[in-house]
Amino acid sequence: MKVSGESLKKLPKVDLHCHLDGSIRPRTIFDIMKSAGCDLPCKEPEGIANYVQVDSTCCSLTDFLNKFEFFYPYLKTPESMERISYELCDDAAKENIRYMEIRFAPCLQAAEKVTQEDILVSVLAGLKKGERDFDIKTGAILCAYRGTEREAWEKTYALAEKYMGRGLCGLDLAGDESRFPGAPFALIFDRAKSAGIPVTIHAGEAAGWESVKEAVDVLHASRIGHGVRIAENEVFVERIRDAGIVFEICVTSNVHTGVCPDYKSHPIADFYKKGIKTTINTDDRGVSNINLTHEWDVVQTKCGLEIDDVLDMNIFSVDAAFCSPAEKKTLKDRIQTETRKIMSGLSI
């Protein structure tokens, strides 16, 4: 059975892999650039979408990242970060995302007079206001960034320790895995393990299955961002499945960046059917011009999955969330109750 349209939108959802900077409303980018006094390429907010969003023909990482280049310099203020965090809660709650983990690399937004901590505090303030005004729970994940100076990621790690449990729920490693291996980052991820900070790592997207192995064996990841390239090694696939590692799959993002040539050849259904803990996420809802409802739709219409598979994966997301056991139980009860109600209404 497949579910689409309003019924699909109504179903309660969880998104574990969403980048704050890739999820900004085009209109907000227009506003921020305008108030920064920069030369805008268009007079009306509607026109900015062409510059900050890819279209369905995009299939290259370079084209995808170029969209970020356009607006990135204007994000480096606490006000902008608080606003986009708040608006993301609004957007997610509108499609019935009940719990969302939002990640960002504060070293990329820090500037001469703005520290990584200023950025983190403003994001947490935006998320807190969002939780107050909209029906959603959130957790922030800090990203250490491949290719940056050790001093930058040491600072990021110190913030993770300081704010853990105060709006922050985990640590990630993002950036170009094909040029910057993860091993040097063991320095902070060993400490994260000792401190009990949950870890997810971007791996197996731009680099092969070995990158996922490194993330699990060296960096203590319990979740992997993307990881689609484990398909290159069947033996490793079995090992990683048996270890219960959770995969944060972002189907449209993988097509837009050219990691997968099209939806049909995406391995999400294969992973799920092999028993891998597979979850469905958005990655960059703004730049990709999608939401989680869209992703739930495409995996049913283009990747060979049914609604029951999708709902099953939604529960994997709850189980793998980096929130406390008590929050997880409340979330799971709510998701199961709401899902049952909506699905029984459809079957009648």
Catalytic annotation, residues: 205
As measured in angstroms, the least distance from the Cβ of 92 to Zn ion is 16
HSE-up of residue 10 (Cα within 13 Å, Cβ side): 14
Size, binding site for Zn ion by CB under 5 A: 2
Binding mask 213-252 for Zn ion (x = CB under 5 A): ------------x---------------------------
Helix (H) or strand (E) holding 114: none
Nearer to Zn ion (CB atom), residue 3 or residue 299: 299
Cα first-last separation, the chain: 13
The Cα diameter of the chain in Å comes to: 60
Cα–Cα dist 106/141, whole Å: 10
Which one, 3 or 14, has the nearer CB to Zn ion?
14
Q: Tell me the closest approach of the beta carbon of residue 306 to Zn ion, in angstroms.
A: 26
Evaluated on CA atoms 52, 57, 61, 63, the torsion sign reads negative
The residue among 220 and 223 lying less far from Zn ion, judged by its C-beta, is 223
The contacts of residue 332 (CB under 8 Å, 6+ apart) are 315, 318, 319
Structural contact between residues 153 and 144, judged by C-beta atoms closer than 8 angstroms: yes
Length of the chain counted residue by residue: 348
What would the x/- binding string for Zn ion be over residues 272 to 311, using CB under 5 A?
Answer: -----------x----------------------------
Residue with Cβ nearer Zn ion (77 or 156): 156
Binding site for Zn ion (CB under 5 A): 225, 283
